[in-house]
Every structure is written in structure tokens, then in C-alpha cells.
Amino acid sequence: MGQLTRPTALLLDFGGVVVATTNRPTWAHELATELHAALSAAGCHELSVEHIETDLKAGSAADSHWKNAMSRPAAPREMTHQRFWTEFVAADWPAAAHAWVTAHADPLCHRLGELKQDRATRPGMSELLDACDDLGVTVGIVSNALAGSVHRAYMADHGLDKRVAVQVYSDEVAVRKPNPEMIRIAARALGTDPAGCWYVGDNYDRDVLCGRRAGAGATVLMEARGTYDRPYIVRAEPDAVVGDPDELRGLLLGAAAPPAR
Amino acid sequence: MTTLRPPRALLLDHGGVLMRSVKHPERMDAFAARVHAMTGPSSGLDRAAVLASITAGRTAYRAWKNGLVRTPAPREIGHRELWEDFIAADWPPAARALVGAEATWLCRELILAESDKTVAPGMLETLRLARLHGVRTGVVSNTLVGALNRDLAHRFGTHPLLDVQVYSDETGRRKPDPEMIRLAARALSVDPADCWYVGDNHDRDVVCGKRAGVGTTILMRPVGRRDPRAHPRPDIELADGTELLDLLRTALTRHDTEDALRQETTA
């Protein structure tokens, strides 16, 4: 794999790299309770909280399977908010409830994202961003998301939005990793090309594959919860594996200076 | 109008009906400066060029909307489309890609810069009155960022009084596509024929209400700004939220009185 060259831009996945995530097992019950109240106020009384909760879990499970399948095509598109609710969750709901979630698909996806996981900035992230500033390496976020608005809110709440030059979320740009367009969009926005970027993600079938497909200058795997729970083996291998943001910083500091332009 | 029955659902346009806005064109300079700072010095754009592009893009978006209003089922613009195609088509590739990737966030900031909104006089009372009488309520609105209207609803206390909110940038369809009103009615388990729809302009709102088969299509617009030749005609014309409140109250009272009389006769 040889010596890595310092990039123009460092592109980071959000979940698993910028933040560590833990699942909140109560999300479906909480969201079902909220949704039940809203549907009742709108005059739809056919669905119980349990019914909604079951369909939320089933829809979410089906979405996970769909996402795993979508790591095979060359250029997968992202799920839309409306499709998630109308087809994956509520296909067999009464017409009124179906119409209500159609109209409210955006805020419902946002709420689902808030409730489903807890997030905490990974230790060492701040030092990593400092090192990037010192080296003149621009930082961007490239992340799959059902609701990128949740990630944007986290970034803003933790002062991280000011430290990155661009945030690319799959639901906003309508394509998802491993579609290499995700990395190309970020590279273009930062005035470089994929070869001038390192791409860092926490799993093989989305991230490492995406970095390889895009022709990133280096594709780095950062280990996180679930990194090795692969749905299937993909042939793409990373240029480097790091355990955490500190190791990534070490890798960056040790990389050869780019050739003078 | 003497026989106007109260609705089973009251559907409202957002800007000009539920909310009143004060425009702040003077803020556009500062907004353009922020966009310019974001694109960075290497973009080759100066601040004046960014402002000119934003101004031209907004004008073109308005023209696009006014053109599509003639079609049976107009779609809403996408956030990226507005920035990449209407505003930044001729920008350097990096700057164009950047505003494309950040388009949703930029649309939010643009709307926030354009105007400040408050609940229009009489509207909170109208919603409360509807709620008190079991009349369901909803918003049906063309928007660039409906999420901001949802935020406003939380801020101004209208959220618990609104049973459904339908926004064009979220559904991908714009009024006068009648599906906008039909979706709201369906979500409230009410037939469009049993709804009142209140909007503030002829070509989006009155047309949409008529196409959707709404029971009563109401134009809310100051007397001096109405177009007597516009077609189709609204069923009722009102100046503001206070008049809407009166209209609803009258319809509900008459209805209650008629019910009481009917019960007396049958008793």
C-alpha cells in the first residue's frame, strides 16, 4: 500500500467516525406514542400504539435490508422520506393515516433520527480537526442519512459545523454511498477531485467500497461498533485501518507532504 | 351565504392567511455576503456577483412558479435545483457544487433572511374556535422550506391547533395541484366537499380550491387588491382573519341554532 500522501481534503463519515452511536431500544414505542396522538387529533382512530410500533419496527428492519442490498448496485439512489413512510411503514394503513404520514414524512424522519440513536462526538475529534487546520487540510462530511437534518443539528449544537467546509447527506443529494457520486460531490465542492481526498468511513460495504469506486487518494477504515458485522464480503480493502480519531490524526501527520504545485 | 354550513375541516394557506410577513429586502446583502464567504476567495466570485446571482435566481424562481401555475399539476422546485440551476448555473464548478451540497441549509437561511413572520390577527382565535367545535384544521401551503413553518408553529403556539400540515417542498407538488388539498382532507378523514379552504391569491388558491372540489373556497385579500375579473370566482371574499373568525362563528352559531330547533321539533 506504500506511503500515503497528505490530502487536500479529508472527508469523514458522520456516524461511526465523527460520532459514536448507541441504539435507543425505546425509539419505536416513543415514536409510535407520538404518532398515535397526532393521528388521533387528526381524526384517525383505527391504529393502536402497538400496531404503529410493530409497523415502525418492521419498516425499519425492511429499510436496513434494503440498504444492505443497495451496496451491490454501482450507483444506488437514496430512499426518500415519503417512500420510507408510505411504502416501508404505512403501506397497509387506513387511507387517512397513510395520507397523514405522507404529508408529515419529513418531520417524521427527523424525529425518527432523533429517537433511534444517541450520539456522542468521538474522543480525539477536536484534536483531529485542529491538526487539519494546522496542515491546511479542508474537512468535509460525507454521510448516508435518512434525515441529514438530524446530523446537521448535531454538528451545529456541538460547534462542529463551523469546522467543516461542506456537509453532504444522502437524503439531500438523493444518492447514497457506495455511489461514488457522494464523494465526488464533496470533492467538487472543495475545489479538488477524489484523488486529492482521503475518505474515512466505518464500514466495508458502504464506505470502503465508496472510497474505492470514487478513486479517493486514500480510503481509510475507522473501526467502530459494527465495523466487522458485514452483511456480506466485498472485495474492496482500505489503504489503512485506524482505531479512532487519534490514530487517524497520527496517520495524517505522518503522511508525506503533497508535491508542490 | 345565508345557508353557509360550518366545515368539518378548515384548511388554511400559510403566508397571507395564517401568518403575516414583513419583508426585509435590506437583509439580502448580508445573506449574499455569507454565501460569498462560504464559497471562499478561490471561487473567483465577488460579493456583488453572488448577490446579483441570488437576486436573478429568486426572480427566475418566481417567474417559473407563475408559469407553472397554468398547468394542471405543477411540481415544486428542489432545493438543489434552485441553487445549482437558478442561482449558480454559471458559477465556477467548485462554488456551484458547494451550494448544491448545502442547498437545503441555504434555502432555510434564504427564507429566514427574506422576511419575519407572525400569526395574523384573528387566526389564533379562529383555530381555537374551530378546535372548540370539533372542526379539524390544517395548513396547505406552497413553500421552499416547509420545515421552517413547522418551527414557527411550535414558536407561535399554533402547532397543537393544527391537525395536519401539507407543504409543497415536502410533497413535491405545488398548488394549484388539487392533490395538495385532497391529501390534507384525506389525512383528516374529511371529504373536500366538507372543507373550507382559505387562500390569499386567485391563481394558486382559488383555482386549487375549485379543482379539489372544496365545499367553500374563500379568498382572503384586502378589498383594494382583488381582481374582479379573475376566474374561477371564490365562493366568499374576506379581508382578513377577523372576518374569517366572524364567518366561522356565524356559521357555527347558526348551525347550532338550527340543530337545537330541529331537536325541539322532533321532540
Residue B41: pLDDT band by 50, 70, 90 thresholds?
Answer: confident
In a shared domain, residues A87 and A160: no
User: Given a cut of 90, is residue A125 above it in pLDDT?
Assistant: yes
Q: Is B37 in CB contact (< 8 Å) with chain A?
A: no
Which pLDDT score, from 0 to 100, does residue B3 have? 64
Residues A14, A72, single domain; the answer is no
Contact B183 A99 (CB under 8 A): yes
d(CA A39, CA B44): 51
- Residues A180, A232, single domain; the answer is yes
- Report whether pLDDT(A260) > 70: no
Is residue A245 in some structural domain? yes
Residue among A104, A148, A188 minimizing CB distance to B97: A188
In this structure, the answer to whether residues A143 and A94 fall within a common structural domain is: no
Judgement on whether residues A247 and A148 belong to the same structural domain of the protein? yes
Question: Is residue A135 over pLDDT 60?
Answer: yes
Domain that holds residue A96: 23-117
In this structure, is residue A207 part of a structural domain?
yes
pLDDT at B210 over 80: yes
Instruction: Tell me the pLDDT tens digit for each residue of B97-141.
Output: 999 999 999 999 999 999 999 999 999 999 999 999 999 999 999
Q: Are residues A113 and A129 in the same domain?
A: no
Asked whether the predicted pLDDT for residue B2 surpasses 60, the reply is no
- Which is nearest to A32 in space by CA: A49, A54, A57, A55? A49
- Residue A1, domain member (yes or no): no
Q: At residue B94, does pLDDT exceed 50?
A: yes
In this predicted structure, the answer to whether residue B38 has a pLDDT above a threshold of 70 is yes
- Domain end call among A58, A92, A117: A117
Do A13 and A83 lie in one domain? The reply is no
Is the CB of A153 inside 8 Å of chain B's CB atoms?
A: no
Q: What is the predicted pLDDT for the residue at B90?
A: 92
**CB-closest option in B40, B80, B184 to A173:** B80
For residue A199, give the CATH number of its domain.
3.40.50.1000
Average pLDDT, chain B: 94
Residue type, A250: G
Taking 90 as the threshold, does the pLDDT of residue B267 lie above it?
A: no
On whether residue A85 sits in a domain, the answer given is: yes
Contact A95/B at CB under 8 A = yes
Q: Is the CB of residue A152 less than 8 Å away from at least one CB of chain B? A: yes
**Closest-approach residue (CA) in chain A for B93:** A188
Interchain contact, B103 vs A172, CB within 8 Å:
yes
**B 78-137: CB under 8 A from A:** 79-80, 93-94, 97-98, 100-105, 136
**Sheet strand arrangement including A166-169:** A166-169, A138-143, A9-12, A197-201, A218-222, A240-242
In B, minimum Cα distance to A142 occurs at B101
Average pLDDT (A118-145) is 98
Q: Do A79 and A171 fall within a single domain?
A: no
CA of A14 vs chain B CAs: smallest distance (Å) = 15
CA dihedral A221, A223, A229, A231 (to 10 degrees): -20
Contact between chains at B101 and A107 (C-beta distance less than 8 A):
no
Give the confidence band of B1 by pLDDT, cuts at 50, 70, 90. Answer: very low
In chain A, pLDDT over 90 holds for what percent of residues? 95
A260: in domain:
no
Can you tell me the distance from the alpha carbon of B150 to that of B128, in angstroms, rounded to the nearest whole number? 18
Q: In chain A, whose CA is at the least distance from the CA of B38?
A: A165
Tell me, yes or no, whether A104 and A176 share the same domain.
no
B12 near A CB under 8 A: no
Average confidence (pLDDT) over A249-257: 96
Q: What is the pTM of this model?
A: 0.90
CA dist., res. B107 & res. B111, Å (int): 6
A103, A189, A191 member nearest B171 (Cβ): A103
Q: Test A107 with B150 for CB contact under 8 angstroms.
A: yes
Structure confidence at residue B70 (pLDDT): 87
Q: Report the alpha-carbon distance of residue B30 to residue B28 in Å, rounded.
A: 6
Question: Is residue A174 one of the residues assigned to a domain?
Answer: yes
Q: What is the mean pLDDT of residues B35-53?
A: 90
Residue at A155 is within a domain: yes
Task: Report the chain B residue with the minimal C-alpha distance to residue A99.
Answer: B187
The answer to whether residue A125 sits within a structural domain is yes
Q: What is the mean pLDDT of residues B82-110?
A: 95
Q: Is the pLDDT assigned to residue B258 strictly greater than 80?
A: no
Average pLDDT score over residue span A202-221: 97
Q: Give chain A's domain count.
A: 2
CB A198 within 8 A of CB A10: yes
